[in-house]
Structure formats: C-alpha cells, structure tokens
Amino acid sequence: MKGNEALAEAAIRAGADAYFGYPITPQSEVIEYLMAEKPTDRTGMVVLQAESEIAAINMVYGAAGAGKKVMTSSSSPGISLKQEGISYIAGAELPCLYANVVRGGPGLGTIQPSQADYFQSTKGGGHGDYRQIVLAPASVQEMADFVRDGFDLAFKYRIPVLILSDGVIGQMMEKVELFDPIPRLTDDEINERYPWATTGKKSGTERRIITSLDLDSHKMEEHNHKLQAKYQEITEKEVRYELIDCDDAEYIYVAYGSSARIAQKAVKLARAKGIKAGLFRLITLFPFPSVKMFEMCGKGIKGFLAVEMSAGQMVEDVHLSVKGCSKVEHFGRYGGIVHTPEEVLEALEQKIIGG
Amino acid sequence: MAKVRGAIVVDVEKCKGCEVCIPACPTDVIALAKEVNGKGYHYAYMEDPEACIGCTNCAIVCPDGVITVYKVKL
C-alpha cells in the first residue's frame, strides 16, 4: 500500500466519523482512496471534499465540537491555510487529527519531499500560546498505526494531533499490517463519554459551550494556565523515540521520518567502516525527548548530527536539549532533494569527527 | 528467427516520477518527460525507443506497477 492510502484506510478502521479534505500533491491519494472506498457504506463515515482548505479545517472544528472523531490532511501550503482553524481548535480544547505530507517550500515550492515544516508543526504555526502533539512516521506501517494512536491521544488530552509525514513516506509503497476495525461511537456513547461535547441540550442538563473567546483577560489567563499544565503533562508522559545501535555509540544521528530511514542506512555504512555510530529516531517531535538526549551526553557521546531535509530546524531543539554538553551539527539537503546515505556518512566524518 | 524489440507503456497518471526505473534499464532507454501528469509529476517515458530490449527490469522495479513491457516483432 502507498503511505497515503494506508493513512486513509487506517482512518476508516480507527472508527473516524468524518474526513474533510482538499486535494494537493503529494497527499491527494488520501482523499482519492477515501472517495473510491466509499466508507459511508462500510462504517457510515462521512468523506467530503470541501471548497478550500480553510473550509475543511473549519468543518473539522465544527465536527470536533460535537465530539466526533474527525480528521483532515493536506500538504505544506494547504496546512499553512489551515493554521487559523487549528489555533481555534487548540484554544477551544477540541480533539482532532490532521496529517501533513510535507513538500518543499517556501511558498508553493515544489511537489517533491521535504521536512521544512518542523518549526510550523512543533512551535505552533498559528497564533497564540498553543502546542499540538506531533507524530512523525518513518514507514507506511506507522502511517497506519499513528492514525489510531493519534485519535487516542487527541481524545485523551483534547488536543489537535498532527501526523507529520513527508512526500517520501506518503508516496512510498510497503507492506502494511492493518489493525482490526474499531467500531464508531454512537451518539449516546459520545454523550456519555465526552461531557464537553455539544450534542444538543436536554432539559435538566447544563449548557455546553465550545469557544476559544473570552474577553475577560483574567479568565483568559486562567484558561492559558490550564492549557500550559496540559502541555506540561504531555511533555512528561507522552514522549516517544527509538534508539538504534546507541548502546556503544560515540556519534549519534538525530533524525525523524524518512531522514531516519536514510540515517539508519548511514549507521550501517559507518559501522562497516569501524565508526561507532547510532541513531536517535524521534517519534514525537512535540513533546521532544530532551531529557533522554541530555542523559546520553554524559555517556561517552562525542557528537550529535541532526539529519533533516531542511536548512536546520530540528537541530535547534537538539542544541537546547544537549545544553552545550556535546558537539551538535546539522546536515540536510532541501527544496525537494533527498540526501543519500553516503552523503549523510560523509557529513558525519567531516562535520563531527573531522571538524 | 524474427528480430524482436521491446517497448514500454507507462500509465502516465499513476507515475510519480521516482526515477527507480532509470538506473534499472541496461540500455538507458527511460528518462523523465519534460511534461507533467495530472498530479504535477514528471513521468517516465521512452527517450530512446530503438534501444529497448524488452528485458522488463523497469517493470519489475517500478514500485507502483505503472510500466507494461511489450515485445514487438520487426
């Protein structure tokens, strides 16, 4: 299955109630697959092509407010358009899942893969003090699994969850083991399980209000405190990463998504040459595994090389985590070019070992 | 025996221009077109049709199965 198709199939199986999207290369297969598969017949899931990305994200806002499992997806320029809606969803504390199949930028850029949306994804692309959980799949299998996990996280914390993929993972074909379908929740179940969802006021119940607006600054500050406490809890509990060949490593590659796959090959090449390299693969980009990375510094690590298809975005978080205890450098091709394992190995030799 | 030459047919709309077929071809027949398909990808096409030997290497490596190989009698 293609990465995008796996994402779409996983959405149906995860028991999603609705998908609102707008096509953009290299993400179009998601909505194509959903349209062809007719999930209304399979599970009753609604799939709709909105008139624009902005309409799509606001449909997500509305459906999420009603306690529905709802998702959307797009690629870089489309995600930029959606930022306003995402900020509103974060402000109103609603759960939703969206996927970004990143392409080269800035502007319309190119349709080839890139990882240049890291800042937008992890530092908040929209306005206001909000954060979102960012999951970075590195295989088609994870594209499918993270849909289920993403919905779980979104509803656990009432927060937007982003699957930050890229053109490589979205267009790549691999074998996938799909999880068993989870049935959709009925209206009664939603009403019972989510005491915040606007499902229609019945006599004798409190009004449920979904809003991100409060003109009383003191109340707004309190609301922000609550949000920050939630983000702190997520930072403590939901960090995910994978360490590959790191036990005896002296040099560590830090990478996520398709760059992690390339770096993993570079680790093999380095080990064949006698260089003790390892890979720190990030799975959650927010929360960032800072604590683990700082811990590793003291254990004989001589340097970290951040490998990403951007001009140096994730490397800033590596710097902040390492706190100057170790050497940190960046390597990456960008604008739609994907680096080769040989280039990644050469960068380690020149920038970290030689430099 | 009649002389046989190969020919490939590319499903243009499904091709994503990943270029995997280009190094797989032993006689350098395939290149990416200057034009793009509906999704905006430069698709594979026969740049040098004379040289095709119909070995099917390109069809085997294509991750999306967009290439079909025919053998043409001359």
Enumerate the β-bridge partners of residue A280. A243, A254
Q: Is residue A8 part of a domain?
A: yes
**Domain count of the fold of chain B:** 1
pLDDT at A258: 95
> What is the percentage of chain A residues whose pLDDT exceeds 70?
100
Q: Is residue A198 part of a domain?
A: no
Q: How far does B56 lie from chain A, in Å, by closest CA?
A: 20
Domain range for A76 is: 3-171
Domain boundary among A141, A156, A171: A171
Burial zone of A151 (CB within 10 Å; 0-12 exposed, 13-18 middle, 19+ buried) = buried
A343, two tokens: 């280039």
Phi and psi (nearest 5°) for B44?
Answer: -75, 145
pLDDT at A354: 84
CATH number for the domain harbouring residue B69: 3.30.70.20
Q: Is residue A271 part of a domain?
A: yes
**Domain count of the fold of chain A:** 2
Q: Extract the runs of DSSP E, i.e. beta strands, from B1-74.
A: 4-10, 30-36, 42-46, 67-73
Residues A103 and A16 in one domain: yes
Closest Cβ opposite residue B40 in set A111, A171, A172:
A111
pLDDT tens-place string over residues A62-94? 999 999 999 999 999 999 999 999 999 999 999
Nearest residue in chain B measured CA to CA from A338: B18
Nearest residue in chain A measured CA to CA from B16: A171
Nearest residue in chain B measured CA to CA from A28: B39
Cβ pair A173:B41 closer than 8 A: no
Residues A142 and A9 in one domain: yes
CA neighbor of A196 nearest in space, from A154, A152, A158, A234: A158
pLDDT at A350: 94
The mean pLDDT of A266-273, rounded to a whole number, is: 96
Q: How far does B53 lie from chain A, in Å, by closest CA?
A: 27
CA distance A330 to A209: 46
> What is the percentage of chain A residues whose pLDDT exceeds 90?
93
pTM summary value: 0.91
Residues A55 and A145 in one domain: yes
Domain boundary among A109, A138, A171: A171
The mean pLDDT of B24-33, rounded to a whole number, is: 95
> Does pLDDT of A144 surpass 90?
yes
Domain range for B42 is: 4-73
Enumerate the β-bridge partners of residue B68. B9
pLDDT tens-place string over residues A156-167? 999 999 999 999
> Torsion angle of alpha carbons A289, A118, A238, A194, nearest 10°?
170
Q: Is residue A215 part of a domain?
A: no
Domain boundary among A109, A137, A171: A171
Residues of A in contact with B64 (CB under 8 A): 2, 173
pLDDT tens-place string over residues A338-355? 999 999 999 999 999 887
Among residues 9-48 of chain B, which lie with CB inside 8 Å of chain A? 16, 18, 39-41
Residues A160 and A268 in one domain: no
A75, two tokens: 């690629």
* In contact, A110 and A103? CB cutoff 8 Å: yes
CATH number for the domain harbouring residue A310: 3.40.50.920
Mean of all residue pLDDT scores within chain A: 94
The mean pLDDT of A255-284, rounded to a whole number, is: 96
Q: Is residue A30 part of a domain?
A: yes
pLDDT at A204: 85
Closest Cβ opposite residue A173 in set B40, B41, B63:
B63
Q: Is residue A83 part of a domain?
A: yes
Residues of B in contact with A26 (CB under 8 A): 16, 39
pLDDT tens-place string over residues B32-74? 999 999 989 999 999 999 999 999 999 999 999 999 999 988 7
pLDDT tens-place string over residues A213-243? 999 999 999 999 999 999 999 999 999 999 9
CATH number for the domain harbouring residue A135: 3.40.50.970
Q: Is residue A197 part of a domain?
A: no
